[in-house]
Amino acid sequence: MAAASAPIAMKEALTLPSIGINQQFITFTHVTMESDKYICVRETSPQNSVVIIDMSMPMQPLRRPITADSALMNPISRILALKAQIPGTTQDHLQIFNIEQKTKIKSHQMPEQVVFWKWVTPKVLGLVTQSSVYHWSIEGDSEPVKMFDRTANLTNNQIINYRCDPSEKWLVLIGIAPGSPERPQLVKGNMQLFSVDQQRSQALEAHAASFASIKVAGNDKDSILISFASKTTNAGQITSKLHVIELGAQPGKPGFSKKQADLFFPPDFADDFPVAMQISHKYGLIYVITKLGLLFVYDLETATAVYRNRISPDPIFLTAEASSIGGFYAINRKGQVLLATVNEATLVPFVSGQLNNLELAVNLAKRGNLPGAENLVVQRFQELFSQTKYKEAAELAAESPQGILRTPETVAKFQSVPVQAGQTPPLLQYFGTLLTKGKLNAFESLELSRLVVNQNKKNLLENWLAEDKLECSEELGDLVKTVDNDLALKIYIKARATPKVVAAFAERREFDKILIYSKQVGYTPDYLFLLQTILRSDPQGAVNFALMMSQMEGGCPLDYNTITDLFLQRNLIREATAFLLDVLKPNLPEHAFLQTKVLEINLVTYPNVADAILANGMFSHYDRPRIGQLCEKAGLYIRALQVNPSNAPLVVGQLLDDECPEDFIKGLIISVRSLLPVEPLVDECEKRNRLRLLTQFLEHLVSEGSQDVHVHNALGKIIIDSNNNPEHFLTTNPYYDSRVVGKYCEKRDPTLAVVAYRRGQCDDELINVTNKNSLFKLQARYVVERMDSDLWEKVLLPDNEYRRQLIDQVVSTALPESKSPEQVSAAVKAFMTADLPHELIELLEKIVLQNSAFSGNFNLQNLLILTAIKADASRVMDYINRLDNFDGPAVGEVAVEAQLYEEAFAIFKKFNLNVQAVNVLLDNIQNIDRAVEFAYRVEEDAVWTQVAKAQLREGLVSDAIESFIRADDATYFLEVIQAAENANVYHDLVKYLLMVRQKSKEPKVDSELIYAYAKIDRLSEIEEFILMPNVANLQNVGDRLYDEALYEAAKIIFAFISNWAKLAVTLVKLKQFQGAVDAARKANSSKTWKEVCFACVDAEEFRLAQICGLNIIVQVDDLEEVSDYYQNRGCFNELISLMESGLGLERAHMGIFTELGVLYARYRPEKLMEHIKLFSTRLNIPKLIRACDEQQHWKELTYLYIQYDEFDNAATTIMNHSPDAWDHMQFKDVAVKVANVELYYKAVHFYLQEHPDLINDMLNVLALRVDHTRVVDIMRKAGHLHLVKPYMIAVQSNNVSAVNEALNEIYVEEEDYDRLRESIDLHDNFDQIGLAQKIEKHELLEMRRVAAYIYKKAGRWKQSIALSKKDKMYKDAMETCSQSGERELSEELLVYFIEQGKKECFASCLFICYDLIRPDVALELAWTNNMLDFTFPYLLQFIREYTSKVDDLMKDKLEAMNEVKSKEKEEKDMVAQQNMYAQLLPLALPAPPMPGMGGMSGPFGGAPAPPPPMGGMGMPPMPAYGMPPMGY
């Protein structure tokens, strides 16, 4: 998959060696990375140091000389934890430093060694010892706190990780250990999960684990999950799983159902295992990283596989979460720091397209707000809506990725659904769902608020705003304003609807807040509108607001005059005055108008106020004449006199009108000259044509140093009118106004006006006066001298009717007169700007071609030719021939651009720019013949080079080569080589390359020269060339020659460079097999040997092929290929000969012996068994087994199975193919070793069918392994029980029911009652009653006795006695009665004997059944039947026994009485001792209780117990010793 379309993007963030980290320190014990912020590396050489790498600036590592066994950087801050073992102990010293503040935070000495540690939170370190786990907080002075003890499954494990969940209620410790004995390379992972609340641990098998939290539908609290990955082996089967389970499920709440998935490891990664797990909380993805660099990505909610790829070719030993971007960092042994991130643009399309998991794609898109599932989400929404599943549709819209369904259209869709009676409207369901999921957007907030406002539920709005559930907008504020102004103001502020906020503050009369708020948000309100608004209702408030504006930083936003006018428009004189008096306190000159204004309005309305203002002297910049007049009208005459000297010009004018004498007027003017305004005075006199009157006054002012322009203007007018050398005044006086004076001169003398305008650079006025008076020569000189581009542009405009006259004067007079290059340049530039090429040519010809001062000017000559190129190409060639001082290269390029190729050629040729000239011929004129002719004429190498390149482009390769040779140019050898090869002109190429070799030493040149020699079959030159010094890449040349079948040349090259491998294959191509073998021997390469061998086989050179083959087959990997090659070509005998020869090789391996065996199996079966027996230890038996199976060599196959300990298969093969494979002794050996017990019974069937004579021998071998019942059943069903009688006799000792019954059945059939009785006595596990019933009617008496015996053994006493009595076997009957222990049977038998008259039997029965027969019954029967003599022995025995028993009872009684007396004496002695103790105690204290006192019911505590009842000597109350009471 292309990296761009993969759902997970990988990039190299850093390589540790690039910042100076030595490779030997890139290990698990030296490198730590607790988060995506820092990497910490511990170095031990050349000196002990710790390197801290800040991932925000990784190329600036911080290296500090620190000695420690381990170093950890805090996940979020620049805090460093260090661990070092105390010398001579097993204790560790822990320290924590703030490296920014360079202070130690805390330290602790652990009493045991810390084998692993990690920051479990930014404030807590997890410490793992050999026996326990501790937590150590960096806050306060607390010591490490023990959390739990390690479980037994982590004993002797290397701890690789320790984590806790965010609540710190669940902890997990992970370790690894060597694998099981059957697969030690597969590392075993162990995990201990501990619950802090329950204080319990659980041991699991896992390599990596991580915690996460997830929100389960219907549960308002997050569920805590643990995900762990394991890879285990059981009975050779490897199981790799990922598990996700919930921890601490909440009672009564919906929980997370357990998930699990397979981890699919490719075959090449069979021994790989997970080393780390990271969970992206941003996207809900599980990352499982393995040691060998595999990455598995799973969905957290469903444990669905999302992606798998190898992210590192080197082992990964450390990872860290990159939480901000939802990815992770991984560090491999090479030192690469890899960053894995989610490719947001491709993840969802990948899941929906590649995995075809639409549901997961939608969930990922919703969870991570990812693109790619828009169509799926919209389609699903439409389906839900069409199915009236409005609640589900609302939830889908609320969680839609990137809010694609959070639109007005969705709201309108829910609005359009009719509301059913008694049900919540779908629109409210939608809004309710949105509120539970998060915050509404602007449109949703507005629509929901509209519903709430209509229902008058303002409190809901307040709650939602407090919870930040609504997005505030100006429209929302407008809506809420209809019901609550204060709430609306809050919304306006949140929505940054600044104009509405300002308006709201204004309505609330909180003017100070307006200014504060505007400053905070950087808003400039419409202050004029605000002030007008305030004025309508609160004039004084308006004054205060205006004053606040005046004090704003940066100045008042409104002009003071504007503010004043607003007050005056409403006749608020006092308020306007108050405002102005406050803001005009600084008395600044720029406030003169306002000072005047405040005085004016008060002089008109409140003169006393104006008088007070003037009296205070607070203003000094007002309009005094104006105020003086108003003071006079207001009756403030004193104030008027202080302020009105400016009316003097009017007075003088009135005096002149009244024809007052000039002397009087002059005297008046002189007397007040310092106070008189000059300009109005001059105006008054000039209007009356009496300007001369002021001559003395003006000269006096000039003499006083006046620089007033009005003074000098008036004086200049007087001089012009008097014609008193006006030119001198106009050119020397620096103070007059040129426009005023020039205007004054226009009607009097236009030339003087020109002088005045020239002096003041009054361009427009000068142009107008010269045009008007046809003074074009003066105008031309002025414009040229002025050198002003704007002025030139104006006079050269097309609509200037005088342009032609001006141009004529410029060309004919002004420029020829000029000696200034700048003036000429400005004029030329102006003509160019005005786009007057023809006029410019005219001008330049005048300057350049007519021997002016600028005839040889470089720039002007360039300009003349360039202008001609642009405007009049016909003149260009003439100019080129006439001019010499121009920029030939540049002008020539311009001519080329203008497609004046001949002119360009002439220019380049004139300036000896031969390369450019030939380029014009080649590139523009495109005439190679002229170019060649030109090259012959100039004979320049560079020219020939250009010609050669052109010829090369046109495909004239030979001509191009000749030209390159004439140019002696070796630069373009690559292009020449390519072209020559394409054109197949190798003879010319050889000449060219020989020239190039003289210029440079290029491997390409020498290599191509050899190739060219080969192409033209000049092999001798190749041999000579390679013997001389050269830089050819002979290997590449040889390969190329070989690829193009130039084998003779290739042979020369390969032989020269001793590339024996390539030489060998080349000789093969040349059919020189002996030489190829010799070369292959020198190459000694497996690949070469194979190529030569296969070629020899194809050529039927089997002797040589065998030489090669012997060197190949010693390589295990190549053996099969050689064998297949021979066999595919039918060379079986030759292949067998090769393999047989290979057996004697020193390097002969198992593969040769095995392959030869396979070949024997296929082509020489007669040799197979011998081969197997000779070399059984050197064979790959499984492979040979397959071959024998394919070729149906059953005997050999059986032998191989036995050798390989595959006894089940051996037994199966023997039985399935017995004609070839069966041997009784061999089969017996195999049978006892099989593992499948079913084969035992299959063997029984086999022997029963094929070798019944040997079946007992076989069964005896299997006796300890088979189920005897099943064997008997087999033989019984087959009807051959007699056949296995010896076997059954041999195994009857096991007392198996089936065996016993089978043998008993045989004995019955054989009437062998002795063996039957023996069997019954020794083996009781059979159906006794069944057997007895079967033989109780047997014709043989002994068989019937056996039946009675069986009944007796079974407790069927009556049946046994009856059968014995029937057969008159009285002894058997009496013995049965005695053994039964039943009195009634014995007495009945006595009665039977009396009835049968068997007196001897009666006496015998009394003796045999002595313990059962009652004496009274026996005597009674004997007495009544006159058989007392036969009873007397029994009676004597009874009396003797009974008297012995009575004697024993008396003896026991006496001993009991003696024992009682002894106890009484002991108790009396104890009482005496207690009384003695009581006498020694104080009188107030009672004596301690005496044992046996107070609760006794025996001899000392109460009435004595009555003695046991004694009966008469002959009549005890109950039978004793099993004898019944006697009765008479």
- Find, among 846, 908, 843, 922, the residue nearest to 880 by Cα: 908
CA distance 1496 to 9: 96
Output the pLDDT for position 229: 96
Q: Which residues contact 75 (CB under 8 A, 6 or more apart)?
A: 34, 35, 37, 38, 119, 122
Instruction: 392-400: list long-range contacts, CB under 8 Å, 24+ apart.
Output: 393/430, 394/426, 394/429, 394/430, 394/432, 394/433, 394/434, 395/433, 395/437, 397/430, 397/433, 397/434, 398/430, 398/433, 398/434, 398/436, 398/437, 398/438, 399/366, 399/437, 400/366
The sign one gets for the Cα dihedral 1288, 1291, 1295, 1298 is negative
CA distance 398 to 1122: 68
DSSP code per residue over 1177-1214: GGS-HHHHHHHHHHHT-HHHHHHHHHHTT-HHHHHHHH
Output the pLDDT for position 1512: 32
The alpha helices in 242-346, defined as continuous H runs, are none
Separation of first and last alpha carbons in the chain: 115
Q: Which residues contact 389 (CB under 8 A, 6 or more apart)?
A: none
CA distance 364 to 367: 5
Q: Which amino acid is at 1223?
A: D
Cα–Cα distances (Å) from 681 to 118, 593, 711, 1038, in that order, read: 98, 24, 10, 112
CA distance 587 to 565: 20
CA distance 1174 to 1188: 17
The alpha helices in 1057-1098, defined as continuous H runs, are 1060-1069, 1073-1083, 1086-1098
Strands 336-342 and 327-332: antiparallel
Chain-centre distance for alpha carbon 1507: 99
**At how many degrees (to 10) do helices 973-983 and 957-967 cross?**
150
CB 1348 within 8 A of CB 1364: yes
Tell me how crowded residue 423 is: count the other CB atoms within 10 A of its CB.
9
CB 1011 within 8 A of CB 1026: no
CA distance 246 to 244: 7
Tokens 């609302």 sit at which residue? 394
* Helix or strand holding residue 10 (H, E): strand 8-15
The C-alpha angle with vertex 713 and arms to 712 and 717, in degrees rounded to 5, equals: 115
Output the pLDDT for position 814: 62
Output the pLDDT for position 1365: 86
**At how many degrees (to 10) do helices 1428-1480 and 1415-1424 cross?**
160
Cα–Cα distances (Å) from 1438 to 1010, 1413, 1432, 1515, in that order, read: 139, 11, 10, 14
DSSP code per residue over 1018-1049: -HHHHHHHHHS-----HHHHHHHHHHTT-HHH
Chain-centre distance for alpha carbon 1303: 77
- Find, among 1201, 1250, 1197, the residue nearest to 1221 by Cα: 1197
Output the pLDDT for position 1473: 57
CA distance 889 to 82: 74
CA distance 555 to 140: 55
Q: Which two tokens stand for residue 1482?
A: 């104080």
The C-alpha angle with vertex 894 and arms to 893 and 898, in degrees rounded to 5, equals: 115
Tell me how crowded residue 59 is: count the other CB atoms within 10 A of its CB.
9
The sign one gets for the Cα dihedral 1450, 1452, 1453, 1454 is positive
Strand ranges, E, within 150-273: 158-164, 170-177, 188-195, 200-204, 208-215, 222-234, 237-247, 259-262
CB 950 within 8 A of CB 964: no
* Helix or strand holding residue 792 (H, E): helix 789-795
Strands 49-54 and 336-342: unpaired
895 by DSSP, 3-state: which?
helix
CA distance 6 to 354: 10
Identify whether 1491 is preceded by a cis peptide bond (ω within 30 of 0): no
pLDDT in tens, 751-766: 887 887 787 788 888 8
Q: Which amino acid is at 362?
A: V
Q: Which two tokens stand for residue 1437?
A: 């025995």
CB 326 within 8 A of CB 343: no
Tokens 């889908």 sit at which residue? 396
Note the residue count of the chain. Answer: 1528
CA distance 1272 to 813: 148
> Which residues does the chain have with pLDDT short of 70?
1-4, 422, 512, 554, 632, 636-642, 644-648, 651, 668-676, 810-828, 832, 834-876, 878-888, 891, 895, 898-899, 902, 911-912, 1471-1528
pTM of the complete model: 0.41
Strands 259-262 and 79-85: unpaired
Buried b (16+ CB within 10 A) or exposed e, 302-320: bbbbbbbbebbeeebbbbb
CA distance 1211 to 1241: 12
252: region left, alpha or beta (phi > 0 left; psi from -120 to 50 alpha): left
Output the pLDDT for position 857: 54
CB 311 within 8 A of CB 293: yes
Side-chain half-sphere CA neighbours of 472 within 13 A: 24
CA distance 877 to 588: 74
Partners of residue 162 on adjacent β-strands: 173
Tokens 């090479």 sit at which residue? 334
Output the pLDDT for position 1359: 86
Residue 1167 DSSP class? G
